[in-house]
Chain A
């Protein structure tokens, strides 16, 4: 059984650029959630995808967008990068439908640095 994988592991961008982060969910999981984790803070919910539809969204601006593909892998896109977007971006998958009542299986994260 393959766990959650994310790519790339590290990324450096400059302000105003756009970035795409990728996530492959754990086998058998149809729900993917994305989180942003600033240094010394807990993960903050960005949004969740269930069967290719956005299932819910946290307090993030529209320049944060996402996709989920038929194989349940997912992308997080961030446009017009700002310095405060520098963080660890975590993808988590879960089984059993659209509820986060299930435990979340996290990937290793992508460390994004915006200069």
Chain B
């Protein structure tokens, strides 16, 4: 079955820098991949979706790339702010089950002022 790997160690960066988070998957290439943000004690909030035939997607300060050869997605936050501090989750569909989302364990981002 599909396995998703996200860096379990927190990413600590200075305000204004670009944060880059990694999502690797181990098996088949999904039809799409989603990124969510989760704050402590709250439900995840959808950020971006990228399809398998898309290389890159942007939304304001966010950028997602999808490399099906490397089996990897990168999530970038440019000009990071302390308010961007949160856990970021990567999620993708399971083969033959478009309804079922598989989530990674998330990477915690800390942006220092």
Contacts and interface: CB of A to CB of B under 8 A. Distances in A.
Interface residues of A, number: 29
Contacts of B99: 31, 33, 48, 50, 55-56, 98-100
Contact of B93 (A31, A90, A101, A108): A101
A103 B91 CA distance: 10
Nearest to B46: A103
A45 B98 contact: no
A100 B101 contact: yes
Interface string A10-38: 00000000000000000000010101000
A105 B102 contact: no
B44 interface: yes
A56 B100 contact: yes
A105 B100 contact: no
A92 interface: yes
A48 B105 CA distance: 21
A39 to B, nearest CB: 11
A35 B106 CA distance: 15
Contact of A48 (B36, B46, B100, B103): B100
Contacts of A90: 43-44
Contact of B98 (A44, A100, A107, A111): A100
Interface in A89-115: 90, 92, 98-101, 103-109, 111
A92 B98 contact: no
Nearest to A106: B43
B34 interface: yes
B61 interface: no
16 contacts: A31-B99, A33-B99, A35-B103, A42-B89, A42-B91, A42-B106, A43-B89, A100-B100, A101-B32, A103-B34, A104-B36, A105-B46, A106-B36, A108-B42, A109-B42, A109-B43
